[in-house]
Amino acid sequence: MRIAITGAAGFLGQKLVARLCESGRLPTASTAETGADPAIAELALFDLCEPPEPEGAPFRVRTQAGDIADPAALTALLADGADVVYHLAAVVSSAAEADFDLGLRVNLDGTRALLEVCRRLPGPAPQFIFASSVAVYGGDLPEAVRDDTALAPQSSYGTQKAVCELLVNDYSRRGFIDGRVLRLPTIVVRPGRPNQAASSFASSIIREPLQGETAALPVPEDTALFVLSPRRVLDALCHAAAVPAEAFGACRSVMLSGVSVTVAEMIRALARVGGEEAVARIEQRPDPRIAAIVGGWPARFDTRKAARLGFTGDADMDAIVQAFVEDDMVPQAGH
C-alpha cells in the first residue's frame, strides 16, 4: 500500500505520520471485507518546507518540498501511484481572510491541482481523504446543525473549503477518486506554539497556562465552540479509510463528533487540572476581528451520520485536557 500526505510538516500531518509508522498498516474499505490489512509499503510526504523524515519507519518514506498548486510537483509526489491520499495542506482561517489570493491559491487551486493528478493515476481510483472544517457553515443556522444543512460560510477560508468539498464529491461521482471529507471541529489542544488560525486561542488558553506561560484570550468567555482532540482527529483520519464508499450516501462529507463548549467551560476544565494558578495566566485581550470570525461558526451539531459511520469523539472537555496532558504537554522546568 502506498500513502501520500500533503501538509505533512504540520502538527496534524506529523502526528498522522507517527501513527502510521507505529501501526505499519492501514485498514481500508476493500481490505475490511477480507480481514487482511495490507502493510504500508511507501509513505510520500509533501509540504511547502520539506517534512521531517520519521525515524525507524518500517517502510520506505519519501519527503518532498513544493508548491501545493504546482501540478509538476504533485505529479512527482505521486509518481509511484497512491492507494490513499491524505490532503491536509491548507492556509489557516485568519491567514486566508487576510490574504485572499494566498487562500485561493493554496486552499482551492492546490486542492484542484491534487485532484487532477489523482484523476490521472493508473489503476483503481485512490481514496482521497480531505480535511475540511466547521467553517463551511455559517449564517442563519438551526439550533443543531446537520450534515445536510446548507453551507453558507462567512469567511474566505470556509468558502474555499466548501468549494473543495463539492469538487471532492463530483470527482467521486465520476469515479476519478474515492473521496471522504471530514469536517473537523476546532482542534484542541494543539501542541507547539500559537499560529495564525482564528481558533488558535482555544488551544493557547489550555496549553500555555498548563506549561507555566501566559495566554491571550481574544473573545468573550460566552463564545461557544465545537471542539475535538488531536487524538480523536487521528482516529478519524485512519478510520475514514475503512468506511465503505457507499456508506457515505449521496454526500461524501461528514461532520465529526465534537464537544459543544463555551470558553468559560474550557477555563473551568483547565482549573480542574491546573488550579486557579493556571487560570490566572489567561489575559483578556479583545480582538474584534478574531471574535467576528469565530462567532460565525456554529457550536451545536447533530452528528448521527458520524456515529453511524463509526467515528467517535471525546467524552467531554475534561477528556480533551487530559489527552493533551498525556500526549503533548511539555514538562515544566524542575518538574
**Active site (catalytic) residues:** 157
User: Among 78, 63, 84, which residue's Cα sits nearest to residue 14?
Assistant: 63
Residue partners of 22: CB distance under 8 A and separation at least 6: none
User: What is the C-alpha separation between 214 and 210, in angstroms, rounded?
Assistant: 9
Residue linked to cell 491520499? 85
Question: What is the Rg, in whole angstroms, of the alpha carbon atoms belonging to the chain?
Answer: 19
Alpha helices in the chain (DSSP H): 11-23, 29-32, 71-77, 93-98, 100-103, 110-119, 156-173, 200-210, 230-240, 263-279, 288-295, 304-308, 317-327
50: left (phi over 0), alpha (psi -120 to 50) or beta: beta
Tell me the three state secondary structure of residue 147. Answer: coil
CA 260, 13, 199 angle in degrees (round to 5)?
Answer: 35
Task: DSSP letter for 190, please.
Answer: -
Round to whole Å and give the CA distance between 191 and 120: 37
Rounded to whole angstroms, the Cα distance separating 185 from 258 reads: 6
SS3 179: strand
Cell readout for 286 is 479583545
8-state DSSP, 108: I
